[in-house]
Amino acid sequence: MDARGDITVFGQQYETPDGATVIPVSKPVGVFVVKDGKPVWSPAADGTRIALMGILVGLIATLLAGIAMVRRPPWPDLHGEVSKHL
């Protein structure tokens, strides 16, 4: 257990054909790769999911900006008081 009371769970280690030992870790999520006596932490981040979230946020921002433009365009209102007096 760590200081916050979370439990870190290590999975079954295995060895790759190139001689590296891989130890999966459930909290924080990722793996330790030990090769030539040097441990390296590799987080299990999904780059595709992160990229898709960025695209989704961009599309939603574009949609909201488009709706705002249709409801109240940034250019001046040309159908104001001037056309009523003619």
Distance CA 22, CA 27 (A): 15
Q: Is residue 8 part of a domain?
A: no
Structural domains counted in the chain: 2
Number of residues in the chain: 86
Structure pTM?
Answer: 0.43
CA dihedral 42, 47, 53, 54 (to 10 degrees): 110
Sheet holding 29-35, edge to edge: 14-15, 21-26, 29-35, 38-43
Q: Is residue 35 part of a domain?
A: yes
Q: Is residue 23 part of a domain?
A: yes
Q: pLDDT tens digit string along 67-86? A: 887 877 666 766 656 555 55
Q: Is residue 1 part of a domain?
A: no
Q: Containing domain of residue 70, as a range?
A: 45-75
Q: Is residue 28 part of a domain?
A: yes
Q: pLDDT tens digit string along 30-41? A: 888 888 889 888
